[in-house]
Structure formats: C-alpha cells, structure tokens
Chains A and B, each alone.
Chain A
Amino acid sequence: MNQVKSRRSWSLIVGLVIISTITLVTLISLVWLPYPIDNTDGGRLSPPSWSHLLGTDKLGRDLVARLMVGARIALSVGFSAVLIAGIVGLTLGMAAGFAQRWLDESLSALLDILIAFPTLLLAMLIVAARGSSLTSAIFAIGLGMSAIIARLTRLLVKRVLAKDFITASRASGTSWPRIIVLHVLPNIWPTLIVSFALQFGLAGLAEASLSYLGLGAPPPNASWGSLLQEAQATVMTSPIAAIAPGLFLVALVIGVNLIADGLREIADPTLRRSR
C-alpha cells in the first residue's frame, strides 16, 4: 500500500515539476527574451555558442528565444482548448447523458458529425470567417476537442446513471442536482481527467499542423510543433533545432499525463488497492 502510494505521488510530483518548469519559462518569456523574436543578427544556422545557447535557425533567429515563445503558445493553446472543451463538451455530454431519447439522439448525431468533421476543415472555416490567428486555431481545436469530450461524457454519464447506487440514492430521496454533485461528477471525473490530459497534449500537435498550413500562430511567433517542422529540412546540419522543440513537446505531453494519472488515482480509491 505504501509502495503504491509513493508511486502515485511520484507521478504527480514529476508531472508537476515538468509543467511548472514550462510555466516558469512562459512567465519569463513575457518579460525577458535573450533576443527579440524577430532579431536575425545571429547568422544563419549557427551552431550552439555562448551568445546563442542552442544556435540559430535558417533566418538567424535565436532558438532559445523561439522556444520560450513556443512554451507560451503551447500552454495557451492547451489551456484554452481544454477550457473550451471543458465548458462546451461537458455541458453537451451531460445534457445528452441525462436527456430523454429524442434529445439524446439528436445531440449524439450532432457530435458524430462534429467528430467526423476534420479539425483542419473546421479551422479553415473559422479562419475564413475570423482571419488567421492563434485564437482561430484555438477555437477550431477547442471545438473539435469538445465533440470528443462530449461523446465520452455522455457515455460515462449513461453508465453511471445505470448503476444501482444511483437508484439507491434516489430511493432515499436525494434530488437530481445533489446526485450529480455527489455521485455523477466524482464517478466520471477519473476517466475524464485522463482524456483531458491527452487532449491537452494533442492540442499542441494540432496547432503545429495548423501553423504548418499557415492557419495557426502568425510568424515570427511559432509553436514547438512548427519549429519542429521548420527544422525538418535542415535536420542533418543542425539537429539541435529539431531535437530541442521535440523534447519540449514530449515533456509537455508526459508531464500533463503524469499529473492526470496522479489525480485520477486520488479521485478513484478503488485504483489504489491492487496496482
């Protein structure tokens, strides 16, 4: 039991350390960057040196500065998209989960369409309507994610509502709002949190592919994903330009998932027993 407990807190601690580091870098980037983000004085593709710790890109921009801005974008895309998915997705999912048959069926059909609809196409539509910006990308990613979260929420709610303890709770006179707070949310949360963490990581990757098509953050700002794609062409001459953003992206995804794992085991005591 103790062993399991320490393993659980370890994943939470490691995850928190990783995410706090990325958050700290983001905060610093708001007040200080080693070079302005559009400064091209460093010479093209210069190798790591004291003046440019990780070298420069093919336009001569400092890679450290670009990575720091990338952290900002990764976090804001992740958080905003997950926030949108949290509000829109949870609401739709709960509504469908509790609804009578006809409403449930129409909501589910809507969600199926949204899920089948590629995020890329959605992003193009939103960009066409609002112009290309990071916000457009976030909306597109958040809406695509909402559909996934909503469908999962609906399924989880339906599954919990069919449980005997809901009937037992109703039998003792508990009102629906109280049942939602006491039983439904706590029981769907352990699964949802993991899905949110996964989506958080995927949001960064989705933003990268949108940027690649010019639908994401406008240059000279760039997400880690787009840094990775830019570095593709020159990976032989300056591998560090591809490795650094890649490592950060992986660290972000792992960090968020470790936190989710730790939170899930705190939320679900039945997991603590035998693993």
Chain B
Amino acid sequence: MNVLEIKNLDVTTPAGVKVVSGVSFSIAPGARLGLIGESGSGKSLTALAVIGLLSSQLKASGSVLLGDLNPQEILGAPERMLNTIRGKVASIIFQEPLTALDPLMKIGRQLAEPLRRHQGISGDALESAIIEALTEVRITNPARIAQSFPHQISGGERQRAAIAMALACQPSLLIADEPTTALDVTVQSEVLALLDSIVSERNMALLFISHDLAVVGQITDSVVVLKDGVVVESGSLQEIMADPKHPYTQDLVKNARVLDDALNIAKDGK
C-alpha cells in the first residue's frame, strides 16, 4: 500500500480557473519523490491538498488517500479527522521559516506543542524531548535556541527548528515545500544534507517540492514535472535527465546541465 495516493486531483479557484488539473501520483512507504515546476504551477496547492489545508475558497476534487496501514480520504474530510492525521501521518515544512514560526513564541514552546500532544509528556520529560528534537536537527546550542524567539536566531536555525516541529509527531510522510529556497547557498546544502539523513534514519517517505532540478536531483530519485497545474512528465530522475520528452522538461534539463558544466569548468580551472 502507498503512503500517499493522489488520483485526478483538480483544484479550482473561485473565478473558475483550474490551477491544478488531473494530477495523479503516489509515494510508497520510505520512497522519495520530487515535485518540480515553475512558479505558479500548482506545487504548493498540491502539497496543501495532501494535508487538507487548501483555503475554503478553493474547490478540490478527485482523491487524496493518505496513510499506508489505514488509508484515509483527505478531500472533504472533517477537520476533527484531519487533525488526527496531520503531523502524524504527514507533515509539512514551508519555504519561509521566519513566517512559519510564531514571532511571539519561544522556539522551545512552539516545539513543545506537537511533542506534548503526540507523546503525552510534560515537565522535565518535555524539556528534554525539546532539547533532543533540536539536537536531532543538528542545532549546536539547543538550550539557547529553545529560549530564543524566532527573530533572535539565524535563518538556517529557524528552518532546522521548523524541521524539528514537522518531525515531532513522527510522520510517515514528510512534505518539504521548497525548504531551502529562502536560505543562502551554504546553509541550503547543509539543510538538504540534514533532510537526507533524517529521512533515511527514520525511514520516512518524502515529497520534495522545488523549482530547481539540480536541488531535487540531490535528494530524490524520481520526479513528477508540473506545468500550469498539469503533470507533463514523470519517472526516475535518470530517465528524465537522459531523455526528457516534454519541451518544458527539456528546458529544465538543459538549464541544470549548463549549471553543471559551469561548475565543472570552475572546478577544472582551479
């Protein structure tokens, strides 16, 4: 059974525009999938649909089944049922860690909320679970970070804290919506490496969203290419790199190649 199974997902705006149309893909337990597409292609809406967080103004139809042991239909499900799934079966990391954290709440307290709810702990046990969670995402000074407000720590630390929150309820599927786009390049690769190792250690499934084929290539082995809300191509990364069928994918591959070559030239020049 798959941990996520999307069939014929349509998302329609109040104006009647189909911004996601006929999207289908699935992820097996422990598998990784890259969802790639340009800005406005419907990547984030697809991710939100997966955990039932589409704005009420948007109409979604089709089917989203979440969970491998006991798959549940997400579309049209009541909030109460969704709350039992969110965080535990699937959780999500957002692009901009500054806005994804409450500015008025210390990192430790924000992290405490899902930990407390999921593990039913409090007091000292909760305190040490917070430190442990921050350590797992390789924050070097967990005690200080736990006592800090989001504006007092660096962008990389914020994204690590957000990852720790997403991991708190031990989800079987992690959705990462452009988790490194807002970070600078060195921090980007650290966060990617972190995600890579945590996802393997915990044996989680990963849906990694990006507009950058090179970034997706570092962390997943198969991809779905989205353009204007439609899946134009999907398959293993190797297949797509070797023989892109759709003109948009050909462009993506060409650009990734150019970047690659530039990097190689730079390396050889040294």
Beta-carbon contact of A100 and B169 below 8 Å = no
* The residue from B84, B88, B104, B165 contacting A168, defined by CB atoms under 8 A apart: B165
Decide if the interface of chain B is mainly helix, strand, loop or mixed. Answer: mixed
* The residue from B51, B104, B105, B117 contacting A171, defined by CB atoms under 8 A apart: B51
Cβ distance A270 to chain B, nearest Cβ, rounded Å: 5
Decide if the interface of chain A is mainly helix, strand, loop or mixed. Answer: helix
CB-CB under 8 A from B94, the residues of chain A are: 164, 167-168
Is the CB of A176 closer than 8 A to any CB of chain B?
yes
Beta-carbon contact of B100 and A270 below 8 Å = no
* The residue from B86, B99, B151 contacting A173, defined by CB atoms under 8 A apart: B86
Beta-carbon contact of A273 and B151 below 8 Å = yes
Known: A167-B94, A182-B113, A273-B151. A172 touches B102 (CB 8 A): no
- Mask of A149-170 contacts with B, CB within 8 angstroms, 1/0: 0000000000000011101111
Closest to B168 in A: A172
Closest to A171 in B: B92
CB-CB under 8 A from A163, the residues of chain B are: 99
- Mask of B100-115 contacts with A, CB within 8 angstroms, 1/0: 1111110000000110
* The residue from A165, A171, A182 contacting B99, defined by CB atoms under 8 A apart: A165
Beta-carbon contact of B114 and A173 below 8 Å = yes
Known: A168-B162, A182-B105. A173 touches B117 (CB 8 A): yes
B contact set with A: CB distance below 8 Å: 48, 51, 53, 56, 79, 82-88, 91-92, 94, 96, 99-105, 113-114, 117, 149, 151, 162, 165-166, 168-169
A contact set with B: CB distance below 8 Å: 100, 163-165, 167-176, 178, 182-183, 186-187, 267-270, 273
9 closest cross-chain pairs (CB), A and B: A173-B87, A173-B86, A172-B87, A164-B99, A168-B100, A165-B102, A164-B100, A172-B114, A171-B92
